[in-house]
Amino acid sequence: MRRARAGAGGPGQAGRREAAAERHLEAFLEMLAAERGAAPNTLAAYRADLEDFAAFAAPRGGAVAAGAETLSAYLGRLSDLGLKPRTAARRLSALRQFFRFLVREGVRAEDPTALLEGPRPPPALPRALSEAEVEALLAGAARLPGHRGPLAVAALELLYCSGLRASELVALPAAALRPEEPMIAVRGKGGRERLVPISRRAREAAAAARAALSDRRRRGGEERPRWLFPARGASGHMTRQGLGLLLKDAARAAGLAPERVSPHALRHSFASHLLARGADLRSLQILLGHADIATTQIYTRVLEERLRALVEAHHPLAEAG
Residues catalogued as catalytic: 165, 189, 264, 267, 290, 299
Phi, psi of 173 (to 5 degrees): -65, 155
Residue environment code for 168-185, b if the CB has 16+ CB neighbours within 10 A, otherwise e: bbbbbebeebeeeeeebe
Contact 125, 180 (CB under 8 A): no
Instruction: Give the integer Cα–Cα distance in Å for 85 and 93.
Output: 12
DSSP string, 250-315: HHHHHT--GGG--HHHHHHHHHHHHHHTT--HHHHHHHHT-SSHHHHGGGHHHHHHHHHHHHHHH-
Which among 154, 141, 249, 247 is positioned nearest to 208, based on CA atoms?
154
For residue 108, the tally of other CB atoms under 10 A from its CB is 17
Alpha-carbon gap, residue 137 to 80, rounded angstroms: 44
Non-local (6+) Cβ contacts of 21 within 8 A are: 1, 4, 54, 62, 63, 64
